[in-house]
């Protein structure tokens, strides 16, 4: 348990391992188990009593040893300037110390996550790890308690979207409960006052025909390996996270399909997206004579090396910047809804789109299409009478 209370009478400071109190006389105190390193002393400035003829330096302690850091403090000839540079140096040292510091609580959570790693999809694990790292880096040396959590979620509310806030609240609450074996009452008190907020995820913008042409030209000129990633989404509705795991041998040309195995599929079910005839010749030329064990869209370093999780996205953001499209509204994943919209507008059935996308129902496909701007084209708008 990371957080418990005990009321006692004291008249002097108590220190029992990680359990600490301050001297408050004969009053009732609320003691809290704190797994943070209370011996940490922040970096300090030695300013030689303000004497500019002497060397100033910042000092801190590492494993009981005092470390001096001069930086460029003594190049400055004014007290105000030296204080400013020293503060920058102190902030930099604290930032590095926070990154290196890990509380017992954080270690317990990371140990639990490593144990669970094999049960999660790689993307799920990376997402959870990113949130935990972000939280504890932000927390630094402060106490891990309800007050700190409130401040963290206030920070998220001010700097992130409602969807991000919601995801952090769900994931952290789950991980803290499971990793630290907290009871319902414990987790309730830890998250007391941290209310859920409504989030309305912003749907991805599909590319217009003119923007498709602009993006295609820019990609082929500056990042040609990215174009196949876009085509696999546009024609076959395969997700970027699945594309990076596809091998050349997963492309079955004679059966006009691609195997997205359950081991790499988002929903853990094997599916077989169709290769549309308009894409067949281009894909055939790409895989012809390639080793079946190579990754279909590999790392830029080696055909047998899987692309990094963020590689395609980074390439795509660079192209968006070149053509002037906002990366807030357009993503790499925009190629999938673009393909779905173009297909249904040209007569593709909802059932085909459902199977191609791997949706669990036609209602899901319909909802997805409407979220990205599709509506039935029955010319009803032209039937309005003039008044």
CA distance 257 to 372: 26
Q: Confirm whether pTM is higher than 0.85.
A: no
Q: What are phi and psi of 292, to 5 degrees?
A: -65, -20
Burial (0-12, 13-18, 19+ Cβ within 10 Å), 211: middle
Share of the chain above pLDDT 70, in %: 86
CA distance 44 to 291: 60
Provide CB contacts within 8 A for 170, sequence distance 6+: none
CA distance 138 to 385: 60
Reported as type and span, the H/E element at residue 342 is helix 335-345
Averaged over 176-190, what is the pLDDT?
A: 93
Band of pLDDT at residue 249, cut at 50, 70 and 90: very high
User: How crowded is residue 326: how many other Cβ atoms within 10 Å of its Cβ?
Assistant: 9
Reported as type and span, the H/E element at residue 282 is helix 277-287
Tokens representing residue 158 in the block: 């001010």
Reduced to 3 states, what is the DSSP secondary structure of residue 48?
A: helix
Q: What does the pLDDT read at residue 202? A: 62
Query: Could you report the per-residue pLDDT of 306-357, keeping only the tens digit for each?
Result: 999 889 999 999 999 999 999 888 999 999 999 999 999 888 899 999 999 8
Q: What are phi and psi of 289, to 5 degrees?
A: 70, 5
Query: Could you report the per-residue pLDDT of 32-55, keeping only the tens digit for each?
Result: 333 334 456 789 999 999 999 999
Residue with tokens 């590319």: 207
Residue with tokens 């920058």: 88
Specify whether the CB–CB gap between 36 and 101 falls below 8 A: no
Q: pLDDT higher for 36 or 126?
A: 126
């Amino acid at each position: 348990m990371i957080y418990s209370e005990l009321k006692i009478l004291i008249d002097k400071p108590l220190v029992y391992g990680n359990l600490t109190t301050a001297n408050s006389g004969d009053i009732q105190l609320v003691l809290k188990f704190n797994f943070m390193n209370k011996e940490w002393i922040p970096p300090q400035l030695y300013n030689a009593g303000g004497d500019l003829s002497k060397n100033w330096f910042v000092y801190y302690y590492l494993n009981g040893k005092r470390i001096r850091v001069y930086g460029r403090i003594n190049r400055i000839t004014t007290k105000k300037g030296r204080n400013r540079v020293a503060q920058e140096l102190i902030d930099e040292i604290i930032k590095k110390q926070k990154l290196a510091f890990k509380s017992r609580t954080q270690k317990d959570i990371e140990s639990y996550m490593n144990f669970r790693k094999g049960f999660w999809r790689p993307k799920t694990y990376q997402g959870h790890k990113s949130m935990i790292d972000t939280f504890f880096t932000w927390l630094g040396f402060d106490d891990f308690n309800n007050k700190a959590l409130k401040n963290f979620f206030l920070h998220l509310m001010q700097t992130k979207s409602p969807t991000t806030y919601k995801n952090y609240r769900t994931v952290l609450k789950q991980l803290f409960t499971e990793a630290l074996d907290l009871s319902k009452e414990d987790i309730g008190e830890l998250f007391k006052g941290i209310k859920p907020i409504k989030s309305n995820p912003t749907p991805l913008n599909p590319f217009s025909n003119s923007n498709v042409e602009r993006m295609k030209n820019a990609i082929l000129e500056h990042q040609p390996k990215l174009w196949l990633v876009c085509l696999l989404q546009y024609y076959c509705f395969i997700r970027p996270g699945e594309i990076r795991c596809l091998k050349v041998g997963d492309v079955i040309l004679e059966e006009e399909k691609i195997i997205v195995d359950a081991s790499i599929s988002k929903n853990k079910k094997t599916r077989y997206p169709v290769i549309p005839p308009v894409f067949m010749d281009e894909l055939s030329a790409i895989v012809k004579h390639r080793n079946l064990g190579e990754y279909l869209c590999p790392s830029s370093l080696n055909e047998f090396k899987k692309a990094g999780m963020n590689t395609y996205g980074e390439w795509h953001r660079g192209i968006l910047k070149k053509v002037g499209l906002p990366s807030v509204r357009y993503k790499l994943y925009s190629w999938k809804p673009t393909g779905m919209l173009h297909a249904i507008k040209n007569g593709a059935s909802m059932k085909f789109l459902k199977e191609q996308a791997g949706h669990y129902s036609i209602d899901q496909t319909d909802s997805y299409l409407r979220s990205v701007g599709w509506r039935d084209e029955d010319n009803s708008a032209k039937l309005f009478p003039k008044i």
